[in-house]
């Protein structure tokens, strides 16, 4: 799997005709040319330092980049990309590297454009509900910045304290509160992009509907394969006047997941409905984010509603009622902001807490229609038994987005393989239940083969044809997202 | 701007009848969307072959034949959105999708419905309301407007304030490519990032890329309590109110500054109209929350000396139905896209032009969306052109845009429907070429650069 030599493994061999007149750069020449653009302090090329960038949050595969470069402006990005395109050097953009599917992992000896230095908030326009940020700007920083005025940026991936908005755009990231507020694509309205040819384009529109095809919509979720986003205009929102958080503990997984469907069926649109099963609870309880949940609980729901104070009690009463109808063991509301923060901290740290109970874990991200949740969970449990691997579940139940965490030990190659196989089987089940293989973590390298569960050959070809429109030389994060048919 | 002379329509009809059956294919005189021949001199009408589609396989058959013979195809629903852009080049085949009108799958528990392209918005809403759900979009359109047509034109209305537009509610589509290949993108789940978000490409593509045969739509609960407040006052006061609303925690799902005249006769009596503009503020929350919102608005109205009217339940529905129906009667529609706080600035000079012209013009301005519309009736061609040029001149300073959503074809010949297009224009053309290399779908029906593709 390792590819430290930096040779091409995924880029298709280029047509030799295209190479005419193009000079292959030596590594030294490449580094020199990059230094010429950004200066010596913004290029990393020594292997020891490059190792930091050999993968993202998906650690199963890795490779060494040729160099890492830190641009500061759109112009610099364009200059770098033009250089790389001219010499047919593969490249990829990288935000915080928290991606969970290998999107920022260099398998072709790419030059990595790292956005750590393009991390500014460019402007905020509260009256018009817009903010403009650089791609390396951290998601949570935006909400913190505008909090004093009572505004927030809605998409809230659990990684929001470290992931970048550029990375969020590329992955179309979701989060707990996306049930009510929508995912990244619903909040990104315009962007400056550097296309894989080095040309600069301004896509989308800050207000209303862009003229022409919805390129902004296409770029969100493109995993950095269509171009590099260098400036992003997002919609910001007024914070809800009041928030109420309900915690419900169940002795049965089925009762908990049926509660979810019933809440939605009742015409209630909570801001979030999060689900944790026993194993997940046990793990977080061992971490520093423990709440004090009883050990024998089968499932917990965290249900949050927000809006005008005046209407909320009516809504929470209905929710409490529905929980009780589903044999909830205990159900209660957060009494203050600290308690709410504790519950959420516990939930958002769940992935990391797996380290408390297992040397390694693989997180999957399939999504199913809400009404199939109970069935999906039952089948995951059965697969866990069959594979002899523990699987914890902690996920966005309100929108049917599962996150099975498969626990394994990477020191054991056979077990590792079994974990990977089980993950793939789970995705097949999601697809078979009318769902899909990824709700928010992206395809990256990890789910390339599983793409075939949801797309046929023609549909994959259609997507590759589109990619070619933007990246004719197949240089920009090549080999990710769409498998070759 | 002429019909495709090299195509023998009798031959087209014959070939298509052989594959699809006689009863689906008719040759007809196409006067649904006259195209100006030259200047305003007169209208050029031409013959087309209409194919009434009942299955997606038939769509595929037609497109395959069209690709083979280089026929030009225009997918149409009820034809309610055809005024939205002109047809630069002629078409040979009207692909009539109105009979492709089945609800494929409706799962109220999942709040998703899959519909064929020919299902009308009216019929869909009726079905959904029996399950206390709705498609949360309210474009001004004829009752027969089909979802295929509305999605292809990305039609939208005041509810975008709270619920967004088709790009926020279409979870997936089934399309037929010009090659005849049937493809699925997206799906019926709430969250899906597998592959490119191809669905977005087809929304608002005006039928230039592929034929949408089915769409999966995310639904919302039907608000059980509806409450709309209208507040009238001087423009300066409404501007202050706009700012107060944006900075408040109130939850309007529609927030439009509307020419008061729109609600005259039917909703507000003449004596109830005190100012040319009003703000219409909607609340889809439960009764207690709506009551609170209304009381807050009342407090502001008292403070600022604004007149206020409150509409609840059915009377709130009536107000918006009236809004729809009266605006449908206008034959000239401009859409302004610009920062909400700048809308007023753009509108003032346009009002001046209207004030000096014959005919009528009213406005509806999204106070948080930045989408404003000018609806005109009985305006001379010269005035219409002046309005477009003036508006474009004004918004160009602020990176806004002005799109002609509805106009007589002659204007669309003279003035570009979409105005200036950004630096991304070459990629639009390349996408078109990649998906429809022979340019058989809706030729000439899109942004400037694609006219002569
Ligand atoms: C503990 C944990 C919890 C998480 N929780 C969630 C969650 O709740 N919801 C969720 O959706 N995700 C979640 N993630 C996944 C991850 O955080 C998101 O995918 C995030 O958006 C990645 O951002 P990043 O800045 O780390 O991007 P990276 O990992 O650096 O890159 C991700 C992708 O974006 C591309 N990219 C980066 N910058 C740009 C740019 N400027 N232009 C174009 N492409 C670019 C890269 O090439 C790559 O393909 C979680 C991850 C972790 C580790």
Predicted-complex ipTM score: 0.94
Neighbours of B348 (CB within 10 A): 11
Closest partner residue to A469 (CB to CB) among B368, B401, B431 is B431
N-to-C CA span, chain B: 13
Segment A263-284 mean pLDDT: 94
Segment A20-49 mean pLDDT: 90
Average pLDDT, chain A: 94
pLDDT digits (tens, 9 = 90+) for A448-461: 999 999 999 999 99
- A211 and B422 within 8 Å at the Cβ level: the answer is yes
Enumerate the residues of chain B whose CB falls inside 8 A of the CB of residue A367. Answer: 189-192
Residues with CB under 6 A from ligand 1: A 56-57, 92-100, 103-104, 115, 135, 157-159, 163-164, 166-168, 170-171, 173-175, 223-224, 228-229, 351-352, 440-441, 477
pLDDT value at residue A5: 41
- B195 and A241 within 8 Å at the Cβ level: the answer is no
Residue whose Cα lies nearest atom 2 of ligand 1: it is A159
| Residue B216 pLDDT > 80 | yes
| Residue A15 pLDDT > 90 | no
| Residue A10 pLDDT > 80 | no
Closest partner residue to A434 (CB to CB) among B183, B188, B290 is B188
- Ligand 1 centroid from CA A56, angstroms: 9
pLDDT value at residue A175: 92
Residue whose Cα lies nearest atom 21 of ligand 1: it is A168
Buried b (16+ CB within 10 A) or exposed e, A432-444: ebbbbbbbbbbbb
Task: Report the distance separating Cα A473 and Cα B66, nearest Å.
Answer: 32
Task: Report the distance separating Cα A349 and Cα B80, nearest Å.
Answer: 51
pLDDT value at residue B82: 60
How far from B265 is each of A135, A203, B271, B322, B379, CA to CA, in Å?
52, 43, 11, 10, 22
Task: Report the distance separating Cα B108 and Cα A261, nearest Å.
Answer: 10
Task: Report the distance separating Cα B231 and Cα A467, nearest Å.
Answer: 50
Q: Of ligand 1's atoms, which has the minimum distance to the CA of residue A156?
A: 8
Task: Report the distance separating Cα B76 and Cα A438, nearest Å.
Answer: 34
Contact residues for B382 (Cβ-Cβ < 8 A; gap 6+): none
Given a contact cutoff of 8 angstroms between Cβ atoms, the answer to whether A439 and B193 are in contact is yes
Q: Which of A159, A184, A481 to mutate to test the pocket of ligand 1 (most atoms within 8 A of CB)?
A: A159
How many secondary structure helices (H) and strands (E) does chain B include? Answer: 14, 19
Contact residues for B303 (Cβ-Cβ < 8 A; gap 6+): none
Residue of B nearest to A460 (CA): B195
Please report the sign of the dihedral spanned by the C-alpha atoms of residue B151, residue B154, residue B158, residue B162: positive
B53 or B446, greater pLDDT: B53
Segment B133-158 mean pLDDT: 95
Segment A40-55 mean pLDDT: 96
Beta bridge pairs of residue B403: B335
Place of tokens 């030009």: B72
pLDDT value at residue A23: 61
B418 or B152, greater pLDDT: B152
For chain B, what percent of residues have pLDDT higher than 70? Answer: 91
Closest partner residue to A368 (CB to CB) among B189, B291, B419 is B189
Segment A206-235 mean pLDDT: 97
Residue whose Cα lies nearest atom 27 of ligand 1: it is A167
N-to-C CA span, chain A: 21
| Residue B416 pLDDT > 90 | no
Q: Within its chain, how far is the Cα of B367 from the centroid?
A: 18
- A206 and B418 within 8 Å at the Cβ level: the answer is no
pLDDT band for A50, please (50, 70, 90 cuts): very high
For chain B, what percent of residues have pLDDT higher than 90? Answer: 80
pLDDT digits (tens, 9 = 90+) for B350-375: 999 999 999 999 999 999 999 999 99
Q: CA torsion, points B149, B193, B164, B450, in degrees to nearest 10?
A: -40
pLDDT value at residue A413: 94
Q: What superfamily in CATH does domain B224-415 come from? A: FAD-linked oxidases, C-terminal domain (3.40.462.10)
Stretch 265-324 of chain A: residues touching chain B, C-beta under 8 Å:
265, 267-269, 307-315
Q: Of ligand 1's atoms, which has the minimum distance to the CA of residue A174?
A: 11
- Phi/psi zone of residue A236: left (φ > 0), alpha (ψ -120 to 50 degrees), beta? beta
Q: If residue B125 lies in a helix (H) or strand (E), which one and from where to where?
A: helix B121-129
pLDDT value at residue B241: 97
Please report the sign of the dihedral spanned by the C-alpha atoms of residue B115, residue B117, residue B118, residue B122: positive
pLDDT digits (tens, 9 = 90+) for B153-193: 999 999 999 999 999 999 999 999 999 999 999 999 999 99
Query: Among A17-31, A239-253, B66-80, which stretch is predicted with the lowest mean pLDDT?
Result: A17-31
Given a contact cutoff of 8 angstroms between Cβ atoms, the answer to whether A221 and A172 are in contact is yes
- B109 and A264 within 8 Å at the Cβ level: the answer is yes
Given a contact cutoff of 8 angstroms between Cβ atoms, the answer to whether A216 and A460 are in contact is no
Enumerate the residues of chain B whose CB falls inside 8 A of the CB of residue A218. Answer: 196-198, 200-201
Residue of A nearest to B337 (CA): A208
Task: Report the distance separating Cα B283 and Cα B295, nearest Å.
Answer: 12
| Residue B39 pLDDT > 50 | no
Enumerate the residues of chain B whose CB falls inside 8 A of the CB of residue A78. Answer: none
Residue of B nearest to A470 (CA): B427
3-state DSSP assignment of residue B34? strand
pLDDT band for B5, please (50, 70, 90 cuts): low
Closest partner residue to B190 (CB to CB) among A171, A226, A399 is A399
List the domains of chain A with CATH numbers.
9-116 (3.30.43.10), 121-238 (3.30.465.10), 242-352 (3.30.70.2190), 358-442 (3.30.70.2740)
Enumerate the residues of chain B whose CB falls inside 8 A of the CB of residue A229. Answer: none
pLDDT value at residue A485: 87
pLDDT band for A6, please (50, 70, 90 cuts): very low
- Ligand 1 centroid from CA A1, angstroms: 22
Q: Of ligand 1's atoms, which has the minimum distance to the CA of residue A439?
A: 11
Enumerate the residues of chain A whose CB falls inside 8 A of the CB of residue B425. Answer: 212
Place of tokens 């926020």: B168
DSSP assignment of A374-440 equals HHHHHHHHHHHHHHT--EEEEEEGGGTB--EEEEE-TT-HHHHHHHHHHHHHHHHHHHHTT-BSBSS
Stretch 342-371 of chain A: residues touching chain B, C-beta under 8 Å:
367-371
What percentage of chain A's residues is helix, strand, coil (to nearest 5)? 40, 20, 40
HSE (side-chain half, CA atoms, 13 Å) at A168: 34
| Residue B36 pLDDT > 80 | no
- Ligand 1 centroid from CA A98, angstroms: 5
Please report the sign of the dihedral spanned by the C-alpha atoms of residue A343, residue A344, residue A345, residue A347: positive
Both structure tokens of A179:
């049930």
- Ligand 1 centroid from CA B136, angstroms: 31
pLDDT digits (tens, 9 = 90+) for A89-137: 999 999 999 999 999 999 999 999 999 999 999 999 999 999 999 999 9
Q: Tell me how close the Cα of B245 comes to any Cα of chain A, in angstroms.
A: 10
B4 or B244, greater pLDDT: B244
- Ligand 1 centroid from CA B326, angstroms: 47
Domain layout of chain B by residue ranges: 1-222+421-453, 224-415
3-state DSSP assignment of residue B318? helix
3-state DSSP assignment of residue B401? strand
Q: CA torsion, points A433, A435, A439, A444, in degrees to nearest 10?
A: 90
HSE (side-chain half, CA atoms, 13 Å) at B406: 19
pTM across the whole model: 0.95
Stretch 375-434 of chain A: residues touching chain B, C-beta under 8 Å:
396, 399-401, 434
Both structure tokens of A169:
């755009």
Read off φ and ψ for residue A167, nearest 5 degrees: -65, -40
Enumerate the residues of chain B whose CB falls inside 8 A of the CB of residue A240. Answer: 249
* Pairing relationship of beta strands A237-238 and A151-152 according to DSSP bridges: antiparallel
pLDDT value at residue B81: 58
- Ligand 1 centroid from CA A172, angstroms: 9
Q: If residue B184 lies in a helix (H) or strand (E), which one and from where to where?
A: strand B182-186
Task: Report the distance separating Cα A18 and Cα A474, nearest Å.
Answer: 12
pLDDT band for B442, please (50, 70, 90 cuts): confident
| Residue B47 pLDDT > 60 | yes
HSE (side-chain half, CA atoms, 13 Å) at A417: 4
Given a contact cutoff of 8 angstroms between Cβ atoms, the answer to whether A232 and A166 are in contact is yes
Closest partner residue to B421 (CB to CB) among A211, A261, A458 is A211
Closest partner residue to B292 (CB to CB) among A125, A310, A481 is A310
- B195 and A209 within 8 Å at the Cβ level: the answer is no
pLDDT value at residue B89: 58
- Ligand 1 centroid from CA A54, angstroms: 15
Q: Among residues B420, B63, B250, B451, which one has the least CA distance to residue A242?
A: B250
Q: Of ligand 1's atoms, which has the minimum distance to the CA of residue A164?
A: 25
3-state DSSP assignment of residue B234? coil
Given a contact cutoff of 8 angstroms between Cβ atoms, the answer to whether B65 and B17 are in contact is no
Task: Report the distance separating Cα A135 and Cα B70, nearest Å.
Answer: 45
Both structure tokens of B157:
């209305």
Given a contact cutoff of 8 angstroms between Cβ atoms, the answer to whether B121 and B146 are in contact is yes
pLDDT value at residue B94: 92
How far from A90 is each of A106, A110, A445, CA to CA, in Å?
9, 5, 16
Enumerate the residues of chain B whose CB falls inside 8 A of the CB of residue A179. Answer: 190
Read off φ and ψ for residue A243, nearest 5 degrees: -135, 135
Query: Among A13-22, B6-15, B203-212, which stretch is predicted with the lowest mean pLDDT?
Result: A13-22
pLDDT value at residue A13: 41
Task: Report the distance separating Cα B395 and Cα A312, nearest Å.
Answer: 41
Per CATH, domain B1-222+421-453 is 3.30.465.10: yes
How many secondary structure helices (H) and strands (E) does chain A include? Answer: 17, 18
3-state DSSP assignment of residue A127? helix
| Residue A191 pLDDT > 70 | yes
pLDDT value at residue A66: 97
Segment B333-348 mean pLDDT: 96
Q: If residue A305 lies in a helix (H) or strand (E), which one and from where to where?
A: strand A299-307
Q: Tell me how close the Cα of B201 comes to any Cα of chain A, in angstroms.
A: 6
| Residue B415 pLDDT > 90 | no
| Residue B85 pLDDT > 70 | no
| Residue B447 pLDDT > 60 | yes
- Ligand 1 centroid from CA A163, angstroms: 6
């Amino acid at each position: 799997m390792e590819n430290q030599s930096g040779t091409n493994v995924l880029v298709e061999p280029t047509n030799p005709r295209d190479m005419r007149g193009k000079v292959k750069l030596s590594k030294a020449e490449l580094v020199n040319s990059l230094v010429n653009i950004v200066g010596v302090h913004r290029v990393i090329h020594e292997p020891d330092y490059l190792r930091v960038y050999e993968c993202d949050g998906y650690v199963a595969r890795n490779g060494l980049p040729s160099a890492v470069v830190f641009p500061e402006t759109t112009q610099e990005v364009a200059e770098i990309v033009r250089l790389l395109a001219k010499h047919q050097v593969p490249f990829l953009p990288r935000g915080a590297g928290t991606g969970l599917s290998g999107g920022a992992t260099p398998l072709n000896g790419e030059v990595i454009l790292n956005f750590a230095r393009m991390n500014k908030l460019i402007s905020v326009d509260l009256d018009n509900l817009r903010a403009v940020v650089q791609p390396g700007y951290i998601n949570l920083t935006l909400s913190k910045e505008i909090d004093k005025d009572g505004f927030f940026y809605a998409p809230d991936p659990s990684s929001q304290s470290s992931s970048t908005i550029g990375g969020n755009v590329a992955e179309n990231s979701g989060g707990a509160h996306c049930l009510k507020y929508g995912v990244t694509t619903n909040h990104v309205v315009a962007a400056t992009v550097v296309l894989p040819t080095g040309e600069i384009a301004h896509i989308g529109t800050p207000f209303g509907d862009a003229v022409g095809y919805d390129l902004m919509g296409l770029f969100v979720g493109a995993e950095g394969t269509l171009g590099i986003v260098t400036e992003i205009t997002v919609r910001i929102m007024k914070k809800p006047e009041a928030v109420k958080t309900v915690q419900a503990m169940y002795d049965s997984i089925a009762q908990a997941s049926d509660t979810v469907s019933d809440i939605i069926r009742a015409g209630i649109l909570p801001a979030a409905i999060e689900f944790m099963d026993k194993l997940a609870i046990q793990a977080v309880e061992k971490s520093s984010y423990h709440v004090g949940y009883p050990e024998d609980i089968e499932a917990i729901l965290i249900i949050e509603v927000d809006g005008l104070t005046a209407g909320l009690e009516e809504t929470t009463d209905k929710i409490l009622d529905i929980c009780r109808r589903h044999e909830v063991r205990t159900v209660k509301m957060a009494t203050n902001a600290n308690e709410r923060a504790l519950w959420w901290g516990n939930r958002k740290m769940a992935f990391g807490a797996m380290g408390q109970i297992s040397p390694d874990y693989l997180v999957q991200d399939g999504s199913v229609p809400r009404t199939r949740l109970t069935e999906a969970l039952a089948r995951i449990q059965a697969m866990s038994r069959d594979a002899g691997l523990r699987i914890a579940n902690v996920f966005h139940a309100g929108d049917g987005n599962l996150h099975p965490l498969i626990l394994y030990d990477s020191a054991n190659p056979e077990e590792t393989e079994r974990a990977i196989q089980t993950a793939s089987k789970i995705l097949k089940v999601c697809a078979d239940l009318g769902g899909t293989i990824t709700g928010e973590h992206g395809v990256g390298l990890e789910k390339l083969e599983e793409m075939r569960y949801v797309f046929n050959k023609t549909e994959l070809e259609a997507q590759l044809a589109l990619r070619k429109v933007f990246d004719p030389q197949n240089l920009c994060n090549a080999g990710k997202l769409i498998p070759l048919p | 701007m002429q019909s495709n002379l090299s195509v023998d329509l009798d031959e087209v009809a014959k070939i298509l009848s052989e594959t699809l059956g006689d009863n689906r294919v008719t040759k007809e005189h196409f006067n649904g969307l006259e195209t100006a021949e030259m200047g305003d001199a007169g209208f050029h009408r031409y013959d087309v072959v209409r194919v009434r589609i009942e299955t997606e396989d038939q769509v595929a058959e037609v497109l395959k034949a069209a690709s083979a013979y280089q026929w030009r195809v225009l997918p149409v629903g009820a034809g309610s959105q055809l005024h939205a852009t002109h047809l630069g080049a002629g078409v040979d085949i009207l692909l009539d999708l109105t009979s492709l009108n089945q609800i494929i799958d409706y799962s109220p528990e999942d709040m998703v419905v899959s519909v064929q392209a020919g299902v009308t918005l009216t019929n869909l809403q009726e079905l959904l309301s029996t399950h206390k759900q709705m498609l949360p979009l309210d474009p001004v359109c004829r009752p027969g407007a089909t979802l295929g047509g509305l999605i292809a034109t990305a039609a939208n209305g005041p509810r975008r304030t709270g619920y967004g537009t088709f790009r926020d509610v279409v979870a997936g589509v089934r399309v037929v490519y010009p090659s005849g290949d049937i493809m699925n993108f997206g799906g019926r789940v709430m969250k899906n990032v597998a592959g490119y978000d191809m669905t977005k490409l087809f929304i608002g593509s005006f039928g230039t890329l592929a034929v949408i045969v089915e769409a999966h739509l995310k639904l919302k609960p039907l608000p059980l309590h509806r409450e709309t407040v209208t507040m009238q006052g001087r423009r300066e006061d409404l501007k202050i109110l706009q700012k107060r609303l944006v900075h408040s925690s109130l939850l309007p799902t529609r927030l439009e500054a509307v020419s008061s005249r729109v609600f005259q006769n039917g909703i507000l009596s003449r004596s109830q109209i005190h100012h040319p503009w009003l703000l219409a503020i909607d609340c889809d929350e439960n009764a207690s929350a709506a009551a609170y919102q209304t009381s807050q608005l009342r407090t502001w109205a008292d403070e600022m000396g604004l007149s206020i009217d409150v509409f609840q339940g059915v009377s709130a529905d009536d107000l918006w139905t009236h809004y729809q129906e009266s605006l449908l009667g206008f034959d000239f529609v401009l859409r302004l896209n610009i920062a909400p706080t700048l809308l007023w600035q753009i509108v003032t000079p346009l009002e001046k032009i209207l004030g000096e012209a014959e005919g009528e013009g009213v406005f509806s301005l999204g106070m948080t969306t930045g989408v404003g519309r000018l609806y005109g009736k009985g305006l001379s061609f010269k005035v219409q052109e002046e309005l477009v040029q003036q508006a474009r001149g004004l918004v160009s300073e602020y990176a806004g845009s002005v799109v002609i959503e509805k106009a007589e074809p002659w204007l669309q010949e003279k003035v570009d429907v979409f105005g200036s297009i950004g630096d991304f224009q070459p990629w639009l053309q390349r996408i078109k070429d990649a998906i429809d290399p022979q340019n058989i779908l809706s030729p000439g029906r899109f942004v400037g650069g694609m006219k002569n593709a």
